[in-house]
Structure 1
Amino acid sequence: MNLLTAQLPGRAPRSGKGLTLGIWRCMLVAFVLVLSLGFTQVAVAQADPDREMSSAAPGITAEQWRQVRSGETGPNFRDSRHESTYNLINASGETWRILRNRWVSPFGLIAIIGMAAVITLFYVIVGRKQLDEPRTGRKLFRWSLFMRSLHWTVATLFITLALTGLNLLYGKFVFRSLFGDAFWGWMISASKVLHNYLGPIFGILLIVLLISLLKDNIPKKQDWVWFKKAGGLTGKHHPDAGFANGGEKAWYWLLATVGLVVVASGFVLDFPNFNQSRDTMQWANIIHAVGALGLTAVALGHIYIGTVGTEGSLEAMTTGYVDETWAKEHHNLWYEEVKDQAITEEELAARKSGDSSGDISASRPS
């Protein structure tokens, strides 16, 4: 059953366009609410700019660290929460700080900048991957309006979370020195609120997206050949590919594994009211940062290939249709299944003008 045309008994069917508009309206309302929370927190923080300095703790001495490690700390160093056995000054916190500052942060930055540099160098040397044959002007349906809306919503949330996360991790080294404490205070507060509130929404929609795409991303034998030929970068011919090629499947399973680990660790950090220990929160933070930085680096490659890197790829996720030549060259096995369904640009224009949800009613073979 088509997800967009399903309806409850006795209820009029709702068009795909109306459903998509409803999804975008809900997302817009949620975004406005989250943004308002950010401005509220900023206003509270700016009302008392000296609050942080007045509550800052003095430096910890070597003797105090010795007492913490030996268990000799008194009640002044204890967590005040009920039945807490943690020290406010604790060795595990120092271990977390070292891991985060000496390993995760620098190597994460190296991975992202390195990936961006490799992509730029590749584009300068190789350039855009053009179609080998001229376009035929005949179109094949590839993505429904619902799937395109879901994809762009998840992508927008991913980029927002990546930018706010990078700001939380590295922003103070750039923006604080450039714009001063006032702007930096607003920026970091807004980033924190957006990251914390949009994260769970991203997690839920990512699961919906993964479930929707599972059938097309089951690994097959031709995927190994696709990787051996570097997706067509080596050799004279494009490697065989079905609806999803080897690279797309790799990105899917990276999101289905590392992505879900990042989501799960984010939930642990976002909702610290389920009796998580401090050690659990610290490890969740390290896992979340490592996974998110790795995904961000790989996502740069996915974004490049799907936009400026390959001719015709972006059209699939903007219009829902691809040119026959593009399908034949990049997804030849899928093309053989659906080539009889190709329509001309005139037929496509007539279909869209006659039915505002025209591409939603189309379907592709299983």
Structure 2
Amino acid sequence: MSLLRHACIVLLMALLTLGVGSQAVAQSADPNREISTSVGAANADTWRQVRSGEVDANYRDSRHDSNYNLINAAGQTWREIRNHWVTPFGLIALGGMIAMIVLFYVIFGRKELDERPTGRKLFRWSALERSLHWSVATLFIILALSGLNILYGKFVFRSLFGDAVWGAMISASKVSHNYLGPLFGILLLIILAKFLKHNLPKKHDLAWFKKGGGLIGKGHPDAGFANAGEKVWYWLLATAGVAVIISGLVLNFPNFDQTRDTMMWANVIHAVAALGLTAVALGHIYIGTIGTEGSLEGMKTGYVDEAWAKEHHNLWYEEVKDQAVDAESLDQSTSDDGGKPAPSQPG
């Protein structure tokens, strides 16, 4: 009898297990039935009420003091703006700038100096200023590349290298972007404050624009320590760059009671401003390197040839031309000081 009783219990448990399993399979095969058993009256009218906010707190999300619905229409609006406007804008801005640079180089080539370099040097950038410039430039490039990878990388690298490599790339991009962003913001504010006096608008800046920086008409337009084009880049950094910093901090530190709407708009502002700055930065990099003879030398050594200064910054040249030193004596002074640069002169 005992053996029979145990056999009956085992058989009963097996039948119950089969019943539960078949019910689970039936539910997984029929999504509507699964929804009806797990949610209850989750019909179309209920979801419309959830979306419009007409239901009680049971249908709201679980965050502290949250007033958002479980379904938030603003999130879909943000998604459409990001995918249909921001992403194409970035491709157009970056692709358009690259095309303009290539076209400009093909038509005009590298801007050579009208007069041969004299070999006499003028002090232009201190070691501190060059360090600030290269630090900000390096951080800008890292942030630009990591940001572009976050926005566009999945369409390129994921299909090329697979999920494992793509996962490592996006993780590295996110970490570098989040941690280097605040440092970039601090250094950018320092560099903006330091160079403000050189970038205040002047009357002769209008003439510089009318002559296209020297491309239109004969002769070179007047320019002080900074020409009008450099001033435009400065004020773009002071406006769009600051917008990137502020919006980036809002996104980077979501624990200061920002609402979900604030985070979404910060994301849009951050992306648009950063993409625009990156596009303009390509032009700035081109002009400062292969585009113009003698420009890169100043930011590498701190000194520029007086022929370059006279041609591109004639008003500043008139102020400092009596401080020019021979390149040979400058090299000798550097050698005698154990590799230290010659004493700085006022710029």
Q: Deviations over 1:165-195 (max 9, x none)?
A: 0000000000000000000000001100100
Aligned to 1:331: 313
Q: Following the alignment from structure 2 to structure 1, what is the Cα–Cα distance between the partners of residues 95 and 52?
A: 42
Report the counterpart of residue 291 of structure 2 in structure 1. 309
TM-score by length of 1: 0.81
Residue 131 of structure 2 corresponds to 149
User: Following TM superposition, by how much is the alpha carbon of 1:225 offset from its aligned partner in structure 2, in angstroms?
Assistant: 0.7
In structure 1, C-alpha distance between the alignment counterparts of 2:77 and 2:278, rounded to whole Å: 25
Going from structure 1 to structure 2, the CA distance change for 1:211 and 1:99 (only over 3 Å counts) comes to same
**Equivalence for 1:235:** 217
How much does 1:83 deviate?
1.8
Deviation by residue 1:308-331 (Cα, 9 ceiling, x = unmatched): 000000001001110110000000
2:199 maps to 1:217: yes
Map residues 32-71 of structure 1 onto 2, 5 A cutoff.
66-71=48-53
Name which of structure 1's ranges 244-253 and 80-89 shifts more when overlaid on structure 2.
80-89
Regions of 4+ moved over 4 Å: 60-65, 73-77
Partner of 1:140: 122
Cα distance, 1:361 vs structure 2: 2.9
Report which of the two structures shows the higher radius of gyration computed on alpha carbons. Answer: 2
Does residue 1:129 correspond to 2:111, yes or no? yes
**SS of the residue 1:283 aligns to:** helix
Q: Does 1:253 align with 2:253?
A: no
Aligned to 1:354: 336
Cα deviations by residue, 1:131-186 (Å, 9 ceiling, x for unpaired): 00111010100001111011000000001100000000000000000000000000
d(CA) in 1 for partners of 2:58 and 2:134? 51
- Distance, in Å, in 2 between the alignment partners of 1:336 and 1:70 is 69
Equivalent of 1:97, from 76, 79, 82?
A: 79
Specify whether residues 72 and 143 from structure 1 end up closer, same or farther in structure 2 by C-alpha distance, changes over 3 A only: same
- Distance change (3 Å), C-alpha of 1:76 and 1:174: farther
Deviations 1:86-143 (A, max 9, x none): 1232001011001000001111111111110110111112100000011101010000
Question: Could you say which residue in structure 2 is the equivalent of 1:320?
Answer: 302
Residue 244 of structure 1, aligned match among 219, 223, 226: 226
Count the aligned residue pairs: 307
Which residue in 2 is equivalent to 1:343? 325
Which runs of 5 or more structure 2 residues have no equivalent in the other structure?
1-34, 36-41
Counterpart amino acid of residue 180 in structure 1: G
Deviations 1:275-299 (A, max 9, x none): 1100000000000001000000110
Work out which of the residue numbers 146, 161, 164 in structure 2 matches 1:182.
Answer: 164
Tell me by how many angstroms 1:68 deviates: 3.4
Matched to 2:305, the amino acid is D
CA RMSD of aligned residues (A): 1.8
Distance in 1 between residues matched to 2:206 and 2:177, nearest whole Å: 37
2:189 to 207, 214, 219: 207
Task: Please say if 1:161 is aligned against 2:134.
Answer: no
**What letter matches 1:206 in structure 2?**
L
Inter-CA distance 138–292: structure 2 relative to 1 (3 Å threshold): same
Q: Give the 3-state SS of the residue equivalent to 2:122 in structure 1.
A: strand
User: Is contact 2:330-2:342 (8 Å) kept?
Assistant: no
Report the counterpart of residue 246 of structure 2 in structure 1. 264
TM-score by length of 2: 0.85
User: Which ranges in structure 1 are unaligned for 5 or more consecutive residues?
Assistant: 1-57
